């Protein structure tokens, strides 16, 4: 039972900071916040993603490229140019590593206005740091895993961040329904998206990329949006008014 709680806590905390901090803040700047609060979110993203920490700068650049070139050959992770999700993940990882290690500068339109903390971004992306997180997960399982099949969850925890991205980019551009004609293949994979915290409302998001609410119809509930509204009310963040599309 402890392993199951640990797994789902890791799943949802990692996913929350991926969608809240990396996606909605770093890539889209859907809200503003004090620099100190930004640093707190940065640390929490590192801790909650752990071995699969995603560099906010690299994430923001690649996600902006994804919106600009959605489902074209220049899209860094469109599923329509790969035979399976594993090929897409591999290609995405290579492109991500280029920006993570600053081996190439992005085009001017994708550059700037994203959070950077060189200390965490550098050390959080080192292989030795990722291995250290993995060892901690392994020791936790060693102490609390009571049946053999629980160990099957451990590899998922090693790659939690990239796995979330793969699910969203593969499913959100192949399966589901569309509310809007965006000129791409984005889909709302499911009308109820608790498991991926609203990220699978891709068709809505590509129509209104600056809206903090990924839901568009009455039954499409984005679980992260009420949290952001509460944080806005408590003045932890200030939601920006999205531009009208």
Q: What is the pLDDT along the chain (245 residues), one digit of tens a residue?
A: 999 999 999 999 999 999 999 999 999 999 999 999 999 999 999 999 999 999 999 999 999 999 999 999 999 999 999 999 999 999 999 999 999 999 999 999 999 999 999 999 999 999 999 999 999 999 999 999 999 999 999 999 999 999 999 999 999 999 999 999 999 999 999 999 999 999 999 999 999 999 999 999 999 999 999 999 999 999 999 999 865 44
All structural domains of the chain with their residue ranges = 2-179
Task: Output the pTM of the full model.
Answer: 0.96
Cα 136 to Cα 2, 58, 105, 139, 143, distances in angstroms: 15, 26, 34, 5, 11
The Cα–Cα gap between 196 and 194 comes to: 6
Is there a contact between 45 and 21 (Cβ–Cβ < 8 Å)? yes
Could you tell me which residues are beta bridge partners of residue 239?
31
């Amino acid at each position: 039972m402890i392993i199951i709680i640990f797994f789902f806590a890791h799943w949802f905390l990692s996913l929350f900071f991926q969608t809240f901090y990396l996606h909605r803040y770093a890539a889209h700047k859907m809200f503003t916040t004090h620099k100190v609060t930004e640093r707190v979110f940065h640390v929490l993203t590192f801790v909650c993603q752990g071995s699969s920490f995603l560099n906010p700068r690299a994430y923001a650049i690649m996600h902006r490229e994804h919106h600009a070139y959605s489902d074209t050959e220049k899209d860094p992770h469109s599923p329509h140019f790969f035979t399976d999700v594993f090929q897409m993940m591999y290609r995405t990882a290579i492109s991500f590593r280029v920006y993570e290690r600053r081996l190439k500068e992005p085009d001017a339109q994708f550059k700037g206005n994203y959070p950077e903390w060189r200390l965490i971004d550098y050390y959080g992306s080192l292989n030795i740091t990722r291995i250290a997180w993995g060892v901690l997960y392994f020791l936790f399982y060693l102490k609390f895993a009571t049946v053999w099949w629980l160990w099957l969850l451990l590899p998922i925890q090693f790659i939690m961040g990239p796995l979330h991205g793969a699910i969203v980019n593969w499913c959100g551009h192949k399966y589901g329904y569309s509310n809007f004609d965006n000129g791409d293949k984005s889909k709302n994979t499911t009308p109820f998206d608790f498991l991926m915290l609203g990220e699978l409302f891709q068709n809505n998001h590509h129509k209104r990329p600056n809206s903090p609410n990924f839901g568009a119809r009455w039954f499409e509930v984005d679980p992260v949006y009420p949290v952001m509204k509460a944080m806005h009310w408590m003045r932890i963040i200030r939601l920006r008014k999205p531009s009208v599309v």
